[in-house]
Structure 1
Amino acid sequence: MSSPQNRRTFLKKGAIAAASTLAAPMFLSAATLGRGQPGPNSRINIGLIGNGLIMRGHRSYYRGRDNTVVAAVCDLYDDRLQDALEECRKENNACAGYKDYEELLARKDIDAVVIGTPDHWHAALSIAAMKAGKDVYVEKPMTLTIEEGKAMVAAEKRYNRILQVGSQQRSERAFRKAAEIVRSGWIGKVKEVYCGLGSFPAPTAYPEHPVPEGFDYEKWLGPSPWEPYHEERVKSNYGGGWRCFWEYGSRKNGDWGAHHYDITQWALNRDNSGPVLFVPKGYDEPYQYYEYDDGIRVIRDWGDRKGHMIRFVGEEGEVMVSRGGRIDTTPTSLAGTPLGPSDQRLYKSDDHRGNWVEGIYTRKPTICPATVGHRTGTVCQLSGIAERLNRPIKWDPKAEQILDDPYAARWQDRPRRAGYELPA
C-alpha cells in the first residue's frame, strides 16, 4: 500500500492528467457533437461518483464498451479513488480523479454520470448533475425521502435529462415475463403478493473513533445529522454497514424493497400511483404489509414464497419469480406460454446499463426513469415511516400526501444540515 503522501501526489497528478489528450485516443464526446443522436465517431464520456462496492460492476461495464469512456472518477476515500483511477486508466490514461463532485460536474466534456453513493446523497448529486447538463444513472432506491423524489421528477423534466434508476430487475427477462403474466390476467385477480426482503442488524450507537487520514467524513455525512465517526457507520457492506442506519437509507425496505416492490408496482400497473395503507409488523398481523385501493395486499417476509423472491397469488393461478432467470407458475404451462396478440407487452430491456446508454443517444425514456423510481421509492419510504412510528400510515397516491397524521406527514422529508441544501 502506498504512503498517504504518495497517494496525495498520485491524485493531484490524476486531476491534472485530464487536461491532456496525448495519453489517450481522441474521441469526440456526445456533448461536443450536440445533444442530438451522436455521430459514429463519438463516445459518451462518463463520470463515476462513489466508487464503493456497487461501482465495481459499473466501472467494468463502462470500461468495456466501445461507445463509452470513463473520463473521471470521484470518491471521498483517497485509497478508493486511487484504485478506481488505476483501473480506469487501463483504457483511458486521461481519466481524472476528484474528491469533490462539484469539480467533476463542472467539466463540460462529461456527458453523463453514474451515482453509486449511499442513499442520502442520491438526490442532491442527481439534481446537481442534471442541472449541469449531465444524464444520470443513479443507484436504487432513487432517493432517501418522498420530497426528494418529487424534486428529482421535477428536475428530470426541467433539465430534459435521461435518467435511469438502478432497479435492474426490470431488465431481466423472468421478471418482465412475470409482470406480463400478471398484467395480462393469466392468474386472474391478484389477491396477495409475497416479497422476501430479509433483515439487517439493529442500528447501534458506536463510540467515536478518529477519522482515518484520506477520508472526508464531514462531506460523507453531507445532509444527514452529524454523528461521531465509527467504521461500522460508513462501511460498504451489503449485509450491514451504513445500510443499517435510517440516517443514510431505509434499511431493508429501501435495500431489497427497491427491487421487489418495484417489480410489484410494475406487475400491478401502479407505476403512476401506489398503495393507500402501510402497516408495520406486529400491529394487527405478525408481518409488515401494505395495501392498494382494490384490496391487494403486499406482504413482507411472511408466507410460503416457494423458494422465490416474489410470489403473486391470483384467484386462478400463481407466478413466482427470482433472479437467475427463475420463474415458476401455477398452472406450470404459463411460464412457457408466449404472449398472445391481446396480451400486455411491457417495455423490453435486456441490459439495464445499456438501456441507459441507448437513451443517451436516442433521447428516449429509459425503462426506469425518475417518475418510476420516485413511486417505488415512495413505497419503500412509507413502509419505513410506518415501521419507525409503529403505527399504520394512510397515503393518498394522487395527492402524494400522508393523511390524517400531521406528525407522520412531517416525515415525508428530513431536515438537511446547513450547506447541504437540495439543489433547485
Structure 2
Amino acid sequence: MSKSLKPSRRDFLQGAAAVGTATMFHSATSQVFGAESPNERPAFATIGLRNQGWVITRSALAATDVVALADVDANILGATAEKMVKEKKTKKPDTYKDYRKVLDRDDIDAVLIATPDHWHTKIAVEAMYAGKDVYCEKPLTLTIAEGKLIEKVVKETGRVFQVGTMQRSQNNFIKAVALVRSGRIGDLKKVTCGINAFQSSPSIPVAPVPEGLDWDFWLGPAPKVDYRALPKIREGYGGGVPFHSNGHYSFRNWHAYSGGRMTDWGAHHVDIANWAIGDTETGPSKIKPLEFKMATEHKDGYPIAKDCYNSATDFQVQVAMPGGVQMLIKSDGDNGILFEGTKGRFFVNRGKIVGKPVEDLESNPLPSDAMEKVYGGKVTNNHVVNLINGMKARTQPISDVWSHNRMLEICHLSNIAMRLDRELSWDPDKREIIGDEQASTFMARENRKGYEINA
C-alpha cells in the first residue's frame, strides 16, 4: 500500500474500537508496521527513566524509534534525552514531565513504563485506552486487584502487553524450563527461589525536595507524605540522588510504592519457577512464612515507624503448589532457582546453569526445537523485540499479563502473610484469600484523590 493511502493512527484506533475484533487490529497494524522501509519502524515512548527506564529504552532502539520521554524528575529527563543523542546517535526525543502528554499523541504506537511500581497500573490502563501497546516493568502491580484490572483492560482493548520479566527471553532460563518439561529431572518435587535480602535503614529525616523533582507527582496514587532523605549520595547513571530516601532508588523498600525484595527479584525467579512447573493458569493453596524479619515493627500489618524502610529484609516462605510441588522463597543462599525432582536437580541463574542434568546434555541433548517450544517460536534475547513481534502479529508476547499475575499473586500473598505473621489459604480458582477478612483487605489499595484509575 502506498504511503498516501495508509490510514492515520487516529483512523486506525477509532476503527479498531468500533469493530472491536482481533482481525481489525491485525490488519491495521500490519499497515502501520510495514517492514520494508526504515520509516515504518514503530514509534515508542518511555515513561519513567531511572535504572530500567534506560535499559529498556536502549533495547527498544534496536528496532524502534523512541520519539518521546517522560519523567517527573527534570534531571533524569534531560540526562536521558542527551544520552540518546550522544550514545545512540538518535534524534533528540520530545520530553515531558506529564506522561499524559505522551498518551495524547497519535504518532506513538507503544509505551515503555519503568516508573516506581505504584504508578504502573494507572499508566498502563490509560495507555491501553489511548490505543497504545504496552511494555511495563516488573512487578506489574502493587496489589492483586490491580492485576485483575489490567487483565480486564487488555481483554477489552485488544492491546498487546509485555511484562518486563526479561529472564523469559534469556537462554539459561528457557533451557531450564525445557529441562523440567522434558522430564530430565523426573517428577518435579521442589523448587527453591533464592532472591537475596534487603537491608534495613537508619532513621531517615524529612528533607528538602531535590531541585527538579515534582514530589507530589512522584507520589501520585500513593498517600501524601513528606520527602525523606539522608545526605549520602548514590552515584551511577543519573546519580546524585540520596542512597537512603523514600523515593528514587530506594522506593522498593516501602510498602506504599512496592513489595520489597519479594516482588523485585521474586518477580523474576518465582516467574521462571512457575513457568517451569506449568502452573501459569492456577496458583498455590497455602502460603506459610517459616521465618522472617521486617525492617521495622508492624501492628495489624502496618508499620509503626514512618521514618525508615518497612519491607521484609530476611525471609523463608513456603508455598504449596498444585501437584504436591513445594516452593520455597528465601533471602539467603545463592541468587537463582534450584529445581529438584525424582531423578536429579540443577541450579540456574543469570550467570550459569549447572548440575548433572545439564552435564548430561553433552551426550543426550534436548530436541533441537525444545527451547522454541518453550518460547513459543524463535527465541530472541531482546525482550522488547519480542513485544514488537507480538505487535506485528497482534499476539501476546512471552511475558503475558495473565501468567505474570498468577505468579505475582504468590509474591503479594507472601508479603501479606509476613505483614500479618500468619499462614494464608488461597483459592486459585476464585483468586481469593479463604477465611481471613483482614488479610483480604490487603488485596487492594485505594488511590489518592486526583489519581484514581478510570476504568
User: How has the CA–CA distance of structure 1 residues 414 and 218 changed in structure 2, closer, same or farther, with 3 Å as cutoff?
Assistant: same
Q: Percent same amino acid at aligned positions?
A: 35
1:165-217 deviation per Cα after TM superposition (whole angstroms, max 9, x unaligned)? 01011111111111111122221222211111111123666322121232111
SS at match of 1:279: strand
Q: Which residue of 2 aligns with 1:296?
A: 325
User: How has the CA–CA distance of structure 1 residues 71 and 343 changed in structure 2, closer, same or farther, with 3 Å as cutoff?
Assistant: closer
User: How has the CA–CA distance of structure 1 residues 334 and 413 changed in structure 2, closer, same or farther, with 3 Å as cutoff?
Assistant: farther
1:414 Cα shift? 1.1
1:312 Cα shift? 0.6
Does 2:123 align with 1:125? yes
Q: Which residue of 2 aligns with 1:255?
A: 264
Q: Which moved more, 1:343-352 or 1:257-266?
A: 343-352
Alignment of structure 1 residues 278-297 onto 2, 5 Å: 278-282=287-291, 287-297=316-326
Does 2:346 align with 1:346? no
Letter in 2 for 1:188: G
One of 266, 271, 279 as aligned partner of 2:280: 271
Give yes or no for contact 1:30–1:43 (8 Å, CA) kept in 2. no
SS at match of 2:69: strand
1:137 Cα shift? 0.5
Q: Which residue of 2 aligns with 1:215?
A: 213
Q: Which residue of 2 aligns with 1:316?
A: 343
User: How has the CA–CA distance of structure 1 residues 315 and 353 changed in structure 2, closer, same or farther, with 3 Å as cutoff?
Assistant: same
Q: Which residue of 1 aligns with 2:170?
A: 172
Q: Which moved more, 1:287-296 or 1:201-210?
A: 201-210
User: How has the CA–CA distance of structure 1 residues 342 and 92 changed in structure 2, closer, same or farther, with 3 Å as cutoff?
Assistant: closer
Letter in 1 for 2:217: K
Q: Which residue of 2 aligns with 1:36?
A: 30
1:107-133 deviation per Cα after TM superposition (whole angstroms, max 9, x unaligned)? 010111000011111111111111100
Q: Which residue of 2 aligns with 1:77?
A: 73
Give yes or no for contact 1:281–1:387 (8 Å, CA) kept in 2. no
1:338 Cα shift? 2.8
1:341-398 deviation per Cα after TM superposition (whole angstroms, max 9, x unaligned)? 9979312533211101111222122001111221122111111111111111111111
Letter in 1 for 2:403: V
Q: Distance in 2 between matches of 1:154 and 1:234?
A: 31
Q: Which residue of 2 aligns with 1:109?
A: 107
Q: Which residue of 1 aligns with 2:60?
A: 62
Q: Which residue of 2 aligns with 1:147?
A: 145
Does 2:245 align with 1:233? yes
SS at match of 2:106: coil
Does 2:354 align with 1:328? yes
Q: Which residue of 2 aligns with 1:52?
A: 50
Structure 1 unaligned residues grouped into runs of 5+:
1-27
Report the aligned-residue RMSD.
2.4
Give yes or no for contact 1:203–1:244 (8 Å, CA) kept in 2. no
Q: Distance in 1 between matches of 2:140 and 2:361?
A: 31
1:313 Cα shift? 0.8
Q: Distance in 2 between matches of 1:228 and 1:335?
A: 56
1:141 Cα shift? 0.6
Q: Which moved more, 1:355-364 or 1:203-212?
A: 203-212
SS at match of 2:404: helix
Q: Distance in 1 between matches of 2:431 and 2:166?
A: 25
One of 403, 419, 424 as aligned partner of 1:388: 419
Q: Which residue of 2 aligns with 1:19?
A: none
User: How has the CA–CA distance of structure 1 residues 59 and 343 changed in structure 2, closer, same or farther, with 3 Å as cutoff?
Assistant: closer
Give yes or no for contact 1:29–1:44 (8 Å, CA) kept in 2. no
User: How has the CA–CA distance of structure 1 residues 301 and 405 changed in structure 2, closer, same or farther, with 3 Å as cutoff?
Assistant: same
Q: Which moved more, 1:330-339 or 1:67-76?
A: 330-339
Q: Distance in 1 between matches of 2:358 and 2:150?
A: 41
Q: Distance in 1 between matches of 2:317 and 2:202?
A: 22
SS at match of 1:346: helix
Q: Which residue of 2 aligns with 1:3?
A: none
Q: Which residue of 2 aligns with 1:374?
A: 405
Letter in 1 for 2:153: A
Letter in 1 for 2:73: Y
Q: Distance in 2 between matches of 1:211 and 1:302?
A: 33
Letter in 1 for 2:49: N
Q: Distance in 1 between matches of 2:168 and 2:220?
A: 31
One of 380, 384, 387 as aligned partner of 1:356: 387
* Number of positions where the alignment pairs a residue of Structure 1 with one of Structure 2: 387
SS at match of 2:291: coil
SS at match of 2:419: helix
Letter in 2 for 1:78: A
Q: Which residue of 2 aligns with 1:7?
A: none
User: How has the CA–CA distance of structure 1 residues 388 and 30 changed in structure 2, closer, same or farther, with 3 Å as cutoff?
Assistant: farther
Q: Distance in 2 between matches of 1:299 and 1:356?
A: 31
Structure 2 unaligned residues grouped into runs of 5+:
1-5, 13-27, 230-243, 293-314
One of 229, 235, 243 as aligned partner of 2:252: 243
Give yes or no for contact 2:184–2:357 (8 Å, CA) kept in 1. no
Give yes or no for contact 2:81–2:92 (8 Å, CA) kept in 1. no
1:246-288 deviation per Cα after TM superposition (whole angstroms, max 9, x unaligned)? 11111011010000000011000011111111111328xx832
User: Normalized against structure 1, the TM-score is what?
Assistant: 0.85
1:125-161 deviation per Cα after TM superposition (whole angstroms, max 9, x unaligned)? 1111111000111000111100000011111111111
Q: Distance in 2 between matches of 1:73 and 1:331?
A: 45
Give yes or no for contact 1:47–1:110 (8 Å, CA) kept in 2. yes
